Structure 1
Amino acid sequence: MPKWLKISLKVVGVVILLFVLLIVGATMYISFNKAKVLKMVNEQLDKSVDGTLVIGDMKPNFFKGLPHVSLTLQNVLVRDKQFERHKHTLLNAKSFNISLNTLALFKGTIDINHIAINNADIDLYTDSTGYSNTAVFKKDNKKVKDNPSESSSPTQLQNFSFNDVTFTVDNQKDYKLFKFAINDLKGNMVYPDSGWHANFHLDVMAKSMAFNTLKGSFIKNKRLTGNFSTGYNEDKGDITVKVTPLNIGDNPFDINAAFHTKTPNTDFSINLVADKILWKSASNLVAANIQKSLNMFSLDKPIDVTAAINGSFGGGGDPLLYITAKVKDNKLSTPGAVIENCSFNGVFTNRYAKNKELSDANSVIKLTNFKGTYNHLPFTIDTGSVVNLDKPIATGNFRSSFPAADLNWFLEDDVAKFSGGTADINLRYRADVVDYEINKPFINGSINLKNTDLYYLPRGLKLKNTSFSLNFVKDDLILKNIRLQSGRSVVTMEGRVNNFMNVYYDAPEKILLTWQIHSPALYLNEFMGFLAERKGAPAAKKRGNSGSFVNQFGTVLERGRAEMHMQVNKVYYKNFLATDAHADLLTTENGVIIQNVGVKHAGGSLKMNGKVMQGDKLNRFALNTIVSHVNMPEFFRAFNNFGLKDFTAENLKGFLSAKTNITGSITDAGNMVPNSIKGNLDLSMRDAALLNFQPLQGVGKFVFPFRDLKNIQIPVLDAHFIVNGDMITIKPMEISSSVLNVDVEGVYGLNRGTNIALDVPLRNPKDDFKITDPEERKKKRFKGIVVHVRAHEEDGKMKIGWNKNHKDTSK
């Protein structure tokens, strides 16, 4: 072995021996001078304590903490002078390990460079008056740089550790409560001229992190683990913290924080970054009041989140929050809606208005570059926001362009089906989020459909090549550029609903849609679906905001009223043709009120007022009509002979004027219900003829077997009838014709019950029209023999006989 190596080994051995002897000596010194050393430790610690410091016992730990001497202090208590009043012990440690500088110990001084606290409670308490038990600590003496080992110098820790320690900051005055169960905290410190720097590992359970106990705790019952790098700048009074990452629960965060100790309430700022975190996991980290609002929404996939938290440990207000999120190709669930393929940039802050306090009511969620799909409808929101999380209100600009057929997903096959064409939506909206059925929303903008085919399901109405524009202006709805085509009918319309947004949900029956309608040709049979009862119609009760938007839209269409002012060039209905038609119609929840109807028909004109009331399969109507100088065959043929079988258009010739006041029923297909008509009918015929009218022909065979009654010319005829189902009461009626004169009175039964009295002069009135004096013609009318005949039904057959009950009133 080389000589130099032998010498080196001997030196090392001597050093080790001396070191062991030094440690053994220090340990023996402490053991034999326990009271003295305990007093020295107490005195050193007591330099920073203004209150009670109690150390129950002290034991040296041989070789632990080498090269320093390690002591275990047991049952350590630190209490301020006001303990008996508030009962909060600042420190209660079952085991308090310290490491002492060995050389300083032999000089008679205590230099503590390591502290390990185990099984302890640390409770920093502030009462409602602002008094804190941290008053137990005296203000730090300024470090004497020239002689750092001097006993008057404050202790400088180099290493520290905490195990099984509960750390609490309870501020009753400012409603703050921070409580952590420290499982493990280990670190070391260095002391540059500017202050100190520490690196440590932390493993704690956050029991409470309430900046405002009235509103709940952040990261409550979450485990926090991470490696921290911290520093303190003595001149600025700033503590900086950096950890990459800090695991909060199962989520890693990059954190940078700063605590400004020289501000009155120790202001702080914390910045967090999480690249991938689930929405629910993020909401579980905030206070209950914020969590409640955030949990109204959810996202299926992880999102990128950053958070800036600024506040102070004094004052009772919330910290300032500024949270950002980046969402891409996600699924967003909101109250009442699910948004697919969702992407946006989001910002949350609880300072929407700078001049108001930080609170839920002053909070806002801002969304930019929002894209998504709702029920297969793609849309964008360039800028949107949800303001006031106490009563959330959503605002934004909603835009969407898509094939009109995509509306079928949205309408859920409940209101209408679309095929072909395009839809374009551009809306500025303001809507209630919690009452997500849009409680009195504010909407401005337009909805446009072009060149689409529409099947309106509740009425079985099919429209093709349809276009319309809905414009929301303040509270009103304006409908423009509407083109509807059903079969051969083409209709153009303009409409308006005043105060639409205020009554849409709460009172749909108060909605009044005013229409101006024009059509070159209208085929009424193509719109007979509106006579039928709505398929699956909602119950006629106040729905409020209880149903979906689609159901409510259907309710509005059915229960809302429409006031229609129509101008139609030609109107067709089966055999009926009218020109220059105009009408004012008012639809109600269960019918139509008809006003000021006027048409030209059969060479004359018709005017009508009345109503049609919908029922179960049958629809009741009540009409007042005025018919002026219409061609009778055309008129009767157009109205299907008004349900009459024996008196039809084929029996008539000439011109008719009439007044009616009738009620009746009509089927969903638009056919008159047989025997349903009741009311009064006043007729006035001019230049008329009665052709092949069987009842008179029967009388003619009995009374005038040699006269031809197939063509009876009637220059003037005025008559009054009372219709009651299948029974028509004929008021006394004088028929003066070219073939015979007849006075008729009685009841004509369409099916049975006919009983008609006829007074027929036997003279031939063929030349009576030559008499110009009306009085003379009237006197001559019943000259000669008069036959009194009765036509009545007997055993289901029509019988003609003498009227034995006739009373002669001519005398």
Structure 2
Amino acid sequence: MPRWSKITLKVIGILIGLILIIFSALALYVNSNKESLLQTITQKLNKNLNGTLTIGSMEPTFLRGFPGVSIKLLKVTMRDSLWKNHQHTLLDAKELEVSVNTLSLLKGTVEIKKIGINDAAIYLFTDSNGYSNTAIFRKKDKTKKKDDSESSSPEIRKFTLNNVSFVVDNKKGHKLFQFEIYDLKGNIDCPLLGGWDAELKLKTLAKSLAFNTRRGSFIKDKLLEGPFKVSYNDNSGIVQVAPNTLNIGNDPFIIGAKFDTSKENTEFTINIETKNILWRDASALLAPNITAKLNMFDLKQPIHVYCTLGGNMGPGGDPSINVKALVKDNTLTTPGGVVDNCSFTGQFTNSYISGKGISDENSAIKLFNFKGSYAQIPFSIDTAFINNLNKPIATGIFKSQFEIAKLNNIIGEEMLKFGKGTANVKLAYRADIVDFQLTKPYVKGLVDIQNADVSYVPRKVNFKNTAISLNFTDHDLYIKNIRLQSGKSVVFMEGSVGNFLNLYYTDPEKILLNWKIRSPEIHLGEFIGFLGTRKPKAKKRTRQSNFSENLNELFEKSQVNMNIKVDKIYYSKFLATNANADLLLTENGIAIKNVSVKHSGGSVSLNGSIAQKGSTNNFKLNTVITNVDIKNFFYSFNNFGMKTLTSKNLKGYLFSTTNISGVISDKGNLLPNSLYGSIAFNLKKGALLSFDPIKNVGKFAFPFRDLDNITFTNLNGKFDVRGQKITINPMQINSSLLNMDIAGIYSMSTGTNITLDIPLRNPKKDADITDKDEKRARRMKGIVLHLLATDGEDGKIKIKLNRNRDKTK
């Protein structure tokens, strides 16, 4: 071995020996002076305390602190001077490990380089008056010059906490922070300029992080694990926590913070970021009042979230919360349904208006560039805004373009069923939010529908190539450019509803839709479904009713006031032209006003009503018929149910007034024997053609007269209709065949009883008489037949001599 190597080994050996000798001497010193050292340490630690620190016993642990001196303090308690009043011990530790600088011991002083707290409870308490047991630590007087003769306060370079319960209980500020610290290691560096820098490694369970105990705790029962770098500036009183990754539960967060201890109530700002967290996992970290609201929603994929908490440790409410979330191509579940392909940037704050405090009332949510699809309908909202979470109000501009058939996914197919066609929607809305669902929205904007096929299912009415333009103003609805086509019928419409949105949600039965309807051609048979009972019946609205049910009830209960102008109207055999009408449609039926049509060369005007009852429709009509071709008139209305007298037997021009009621089936057919009322008529230039009952008698009584064409100069009469029976009020018939007085009852089944007084005198003999009185006097001259028309055994009307004429008068 070279000489220098031998010398080096000897030096090292001597040094080691000296260290062992010194360490043994120190150990002997500590063992010999345990009581005095304990007293010295206690006095040193109590030096700057407003209270008492007591240590039960002390044991040296030399090997742990080699080459320094380590001691273990057992049963350590620290209590402020007012402990007897509040009974909250600041520190209660079963074991404190203290590492002391060896050289300082030789100088007769104590310099603590490391302290470890094991199996302990730390309780920082502030009462309702603002007094805190941390007052045990005396504040440094920065104005007082340091006396060199005074020994310095102990400096702690390293510390550890194991199995420590740490509580901050602030009764005045309604705050409670409680942690179970499994393991905490820290190194502290004290620069010459004052303050300190620390590196920490933490593993703790957050039992409570309640900034407002009346609201509940953030991150409750979550495990926190990760490193921190913390610095403190003695001059500014600022504690800065550098951003670093901290695991909260199973999710990593980047957390940084700032605490200003120079303020009377320490102010703090905590910045939190996580790039990949599920919605429900994020909501579980917040206070229960916020979690309960957020859990009404869900996002399937993880999101990127930034959050800033700010506040102070003094009395007050919640901390300010500002959150920013990035959502892309996600699935959003809401109380109102599921939004697919959802993307947006969201912001939340609970201090929206500066100076109005931190509260639900001053909270706001903003969603920027919101895009998604609901029930396969794509839509976008540039900016959706919700403020005042106590009584939330949502605003925004909704835009969408889609195939209209996709509406079936939203409203179902019990009311409206859509086929082809497109819709373009742009609506600015404002709505209350109840239980996180839009309620009573007020909208402004346009809904434009083109080339749509629509079926109104409850009435079994189908429309083709439909166009609709809806213009929502602040309160009213204007409906324009409507084109409806059902079979051969084409209808152009425009309308308006005053105070629409308010009534839609409060009193749908008070909604009055004013329509202007124009059409070149309408076939009423294609709309016959409106006469039937609505199937299915609209459900009564409840708080849980969905959009489809609300709209269904609107269609059922609202009133429609129609002004109609139609060039041609077809129904079965009926044809009318130049039709004008005012109709009022209500839940119970139809009011008919100011109806006028051209029909059979004349005109018909009427007023009346149709009341829907089950599968039938009771109607009442007052009509005025002017110069209508009676042949076509009877033909158009299927001879009004009569089988003996039909349109083939009639000729002339009818003038009539009627006051009639009856029943129409839901198929549009007049129910037999349902007509009641009166009919007054005047038939001009009339003729009775090939009427069998007259021919059967006339061929014997008047063999040489024209029985196939019996003309009437002017025929007036009045019928009272009572179901199956028509009462013929006494009337005179003056014809080319004969003159006749007629009265009695005509029955559509049985019960016909009509008296006929017929002079056999040929009316043509009096044709040249111009004096009306003379003509009237000669009318019944000569032989008069007194006949009775009654039911025959074969069910047909039989005419016979009226042998009981006096009894039938």
SS of 1:108's partner is coil
Q: Which residue does the alignment assign to 1:185?
A: 184
Confirm whether residue 5 of structure 1 aligns to residue 5 of structure 2.
yes
Partner of 1:285: 285
| 1:455 lines up with 2:455 in the alignment | yes
TM-score, normalising length: structure 2: 0.97
1:164 maps onto 2:167 in alignment: no
Equivalent residue, structure 2, for 1:585 = 583
Cα distance between partner residues in 2 of 1:808 and 1:289: 95
Conserved 8 A contact 2:64-2:70: yes
- The answer on 1:679 being equivalent to 2:677 is yes
Matched, 1:729 2:727: yes
Q: 1:171 to 1:561 in 2, by over 3 A?
A: same
Question: Match for residue 650 of structure 2?
Answer: 652
Larger CA deviation: 508-517 vs 287-296:
287-296
- Match in the other structure for 2:556: 558
Q: Give the Cα separation in 1 of the matches to 2:322 and 2:158.
A: 36
Question: Offset at 1:419?
Answer: 2.8
TM-score by structure 1 length?
Answer: 0.96
CA distance in 2, matches of 1:16, 1:615: 114
Q: Deviations over 1:491-529 (max 9, x none)?
A: 111100011111112221111100111112222112112
2:209 corresponds to 1:209: yes
Report the more deviating stretch, 139-148 or 218-227.
139-148
Q: Give the counterpart of 1:782 among 780, 783, 787.
A: 780
1:317 positional shift: 2.2
CA contact (8 A) 1:714 1:737 kept: yes
Shift of 1:62: 2.5
Deviation at 1:799, TM superposition (A): 3.0
- The alpha carbon displacement at 1:452 in A equals 1.8
1:88 counterpart SS class: coil
| Partner Cα separation in structure 1 for residue 410 and residue 570 of structure 2 | 36
Contact (CA 8 Å) 1:506, 1:545: kept in 2 or not?
no
In the alignment, the residues of structure 2 paired with residue 99 and residue 670 of structure 1 have an alpha-carbon distance, to the nearest angstrom, of 105
Shift of 1:583: 0.4
Alignment of 1:262 with 2:253, yes or no, is no
Q: Could you tell me how far 1:144 is from its partner in structure 2?
A: 12
In 1: Cα distance, 2:415 partner to 2:288 partner = 41
Question: Is the 1:176–1:316 contact (alpha carbons within 8 Å) kept by the matching residues of 2?
Answer: no
SS at match of 2:216: coil
Cα distance between partner residues in 1 of 2:768 and 2:92: 137
Identify if the C-alpha distance between structure 1 residues 145 and 159 changes in structure 2 by more than 3 Å, giving closer, same or farther. farther
Say whether the 8 Å CA contact 1:377–1:410 is kept in structure 2: no
Whether the 8 Å contact between 2:335 and 2:437 is mirrored in structure 1 is no
Residue 242 of structure 1 is matched in structure 2 by 242
Instruction: Compute the displacement of 1:143 (Å).
Output: 13
Unaligned runs of 5+ in 1: none
| Counterpart residue type for residue 77 of structure 1 | T
Conserved 8 A contact 1:496-1:515? yes
Is 1:23 paired with 2:23? yes
Q: Which stretch of structure 1 is more off in the superposition, 707-716 or 185-194?
A: 707-716
| 1:544 CA drift (Å) | 4.5
Question: Is contact 1:52-1:80 (8 Å) kept?
Answer: yes
Count residues with an aligned counterpart.
807
Inter-partner Cα distance in structure 2 for 1:646 and 1:618: 27
Q: Partner of 2:754 in structure 1?
A: 756
Q: Is the 8 A contact 1:654 1:687 kept in 2?
A: yes
Residues 435 and 545 in structure 1, CA contact (< 8 A), matched pair in contact too: no
Paired residues for 1:297-446 under 5 Å: 297-434=297-434, 438-446=438-446
User: Which residue identity lines up with residue 177 of structure 1 in the other structure?
Assistant: L
Specify whether residues 633 and 346 from structure 1 end up closer, same or farther in structure 2 by C-alpha distance, changes over 3 A only.
same
2:480 is matched with: 480
Distance change (3 Å), C-alpha of 1:605 and 1:362: same
AA aligned to 2:372 is G
Contact 1:626 1:660 in 2 (8 A): yes
Write the distance in 2 (CA, Å) between the matches of 1:59 and 1:589: 94
Contact 1:605 1:628 in 2 (8 A): yes
Write the deviation string for residues 547-576 of structure 1: whole angstroms up to 9, x where unpaired: 110121121112111000111122222222
For 1:48 and 1:334, the matched residues in 2 are separated by 58
Deviating more after overlay: 671-680 vs 736-745: 671-680
Aligned partner letter, 1:590: N
**Contact 2:296/2:436, CA 8 A, preserved across alignment:** no
Q: Tell me, what secondary structure is at the counterpart of 2:65?
A: coil
**Gaps in structure 2 of 5+ consecutive residues:** none
Query: Where in structure 2 are the equivalents of 1:505-520 lying within 5 Å?
Result: 505-520=505-520
3-state SS of 1:770 partner: coil
Structure 1 residue 625: Cα displacement = 0.9
Q: Does the 8 Å CA contact 1:352/1:364 hold for their aligned counterparts? A: yes
**Counterpart secondary structure, 2:506:** coil
Aligned to 1:252: 252
List aligned pairs for 1:615-630, cutoff 5 A: 615-630=613-628
Work out the percentage of aligned pairs sharing the same amino acid.
Answer: 49
Q: Cα gap change, 1:120/1:435 in structure 2, threshold over 3 Å: closer, same or farther?
A: closer
1:674 is displaced (CA, Å) by 2.1
Alignment correspondent of 1:800: 799
Distance change >3 Å, CA 701–CA 690, structure 1 → 2:
same
RMSD value over aligned CA atoms? 2.0
Contact preservation (8 Å) 2:568, 2:575: yes
Instruction: Using the TM superposition, give the Cα deviation of residue 245 of structure 1 relative to its aligned residue in structure 2, in angstroms.
Output: 1.1
The answer to whether the 8 A contact 1:140-1:154 is kept is no
Quick one: structure 1 residues 144 and 28, their matched pair in 2 at CA, closer, same or farther if it must change by over 3 Å?
Answer: farther
The CA distance in 1 between the partners of 2:154 and 2:551, in whole Å, is 76
Alignment partner of 2:439: what SS?
coil
The CA deviation at 1:715 is 1.0
Residues 478 and 496 in structure 2, CA contact (< 8 A), matched pair in contact too: yes
* Amino acid across the alignment from 1:66: F
Q: Is the 8 A contact 1:440 1:503 kept in 2?
A: no
- The within-5 A match list for 1:531-610 is 531-539=531-539, 541=540, 543-610=541-608
Distance 1:6 1:525 in 2: 125
For residues 12 and 752 of structure 1, the distance between their equivalents in structure 2, rounded to whole angstroms, comes to: 144
Q: Which residue of 1 aligns with 2:690?
A: 692
Distance 2:77 2:572 in 1: 104
Q: Distance in 2 between matches of 1:235 and 1:52?
A: 28
Whether the 8 Å contact between 1:144 and 1:153 is mirrored in structure 2 is no
Q: What's the counterpart of residue 632 of structure 1?
A: 630
Separation in 2 of the partners of 1:121 and 1:236?
Answer: 30
The verdict on how the C-alpha distance between 1:808 and 1:431 changes in structure 2, with shifts beyond 3 A counting, is: closer
For residues 435 and 89 of structure 2, what CA distance do their matches in structure 1 show?
A: 50
Q: CA deviation at 1:701?
A: 4.5
Match of 1:770 among 761, 768, 771: 768
Q: Which deviates more, 399-408 or 50-59? A: 399-408
1:125 equivalenced with 2:161 (yes/no): no
Give per-residue Cα distances to partners, 1:161-216, cap 9 Å, x unaligned. Answer: 11111111111111111111111101111111242111111011111111111111
Check 1:25–1:414 CA distance in 2 against 1; reply closer, same or farther (3 A cut). Answer: farther
Provide the residue aligned with 1:33 in structure 2: 33
Structure 1, 308-317 or 423-432: larger mean CA deviation: 308-317
* Cα distance change, pair 444–690 in 1 and its aligned pair in 2 (3 A): same
Specify the alignment match of 1:720 in structure 2: 718
1:607 deviation in Å? 0.7
More off after superposition, 7-16 vs 607-616: 7-16
Q: 1:303 to 1:141 in 2, by over 3 A?
A: same
Contact 2:62–2:68 at 8 Å: present in 1 too? no
Q: 1:507 is matched by which residue type in structure 2? A: D
Q: Output the CA distance in 2 between the equivalents of 1:769 and 1:365.
A: 97
Shift of the 640–144 alpha-carbon distance from structure 1 to 2, 3 Å rule, reads: same
